Amino acid sequence: MEAMAAAKPVIKIAALCGSLRKGSYNRGLLRTALELSRESISGIQMEYIDILPLPMLNTDLEVDGKYPPVIEAFRQKILEADSILFASPEYNYSVTAPLKNAIDWASRPPNVWADKAAAIISAGGGFGGGRSQYHLRQIGIYLDLHFINKPEFFLSAFQPPAKFDGDGNLIDPASKQKIKEVLLALQAFTLRLQDYIFSVLF
């Protein structure tokens, strides 16, 4: 059994946060996910991809089929990833402008989101960012992103007891365990999707 586990392929996960705020709780969720991927889950290589440097979408910046270097670098990171983990705060019942901007840049021809597995985690008030998750899933249909259905992770961040410390780090053990379950489900689904695509193509 140990030999079989050691042979499990390593998948690359690109982690994106829809909030640009340093103390963002959603960014705190991603820090927990990165920590879990390093310390307690084998077969995952996760990288946080910063969307702050991306300019607002403007097709005038596309010249002779080329994008500005910062956009090219971002698109390459998404292309190289096997799957995507979104931390998606909710603004006005939807995804944030920075996240939508990043999504749109990577969807420009050729669409580098296509045929990748994805998962969403979110923290916020009330519904815990749930409406943004449902909107993001809808956007993913056109992008050919394939989201895991379960487990879902919505964290109501402002109800006691405290879920985060003063620096925005997740301190709630139950929530950490749920994020681990999301990562394991994303890992398993990514491998199944890759096997399916390979069988169809070859």
Give the CATH number of the domain where residue 114 resides: 3.40.50.360
Does residue 5 sit within a domain?
Answer: no
Does residue 15 sit within a domain?
Answer: yes
Distance of alpha carbon 158 from alpha carbon 166, whole angstroms: 13
Element (DSSP H or E) covering residue 192: helix 173-201
SS3 for 156?
strand
Q: At which residue do the structure tokens 């030999």 appear? A: 3
- 32 lies in which domain range? 10-201
Distance of alpha carbon 17 from alpha carbon 83, whole angstroms: 14
Q: At which residue do the structure tokens 């996960």 appear? A: 13
Does residue 66 sit within a domain?
Answer: yes
Q: Which of 34, 11, 9 is nearest to 121 (CA)?
A: 34
Does residue 104 sit within a domain?
Answer: yes
Total domains, the chain: 1
Average pLDDT, 10 consecutive residues per value, the chain (202 residues): 61 98 95 96 97 97 94 98 97 96 97 98 92 97 97 93 95 97 98 84 68
Does residue 4 sit within a domain?
Answer: no
Q: Which of 97, 92, 52, 49 is nearest to 74 (CA)?
A: 49
pLDDT at residue 153 in the model:
98
pLDDT at residue 1 in the model:
45
Does residue 142 sit within a domain?
Answer: yes
Does residue 162 sit within a domain?
Answer: yes
Does residue 3 sit within a domain?
Answer: no
Using left for φ > 0, alpha for ψ between -120 and 50, and beta otherwise, residue 108 falls in beta
pLDDT at residue 202 in the model:
65
pLDDT at residue 149 in the model:
96
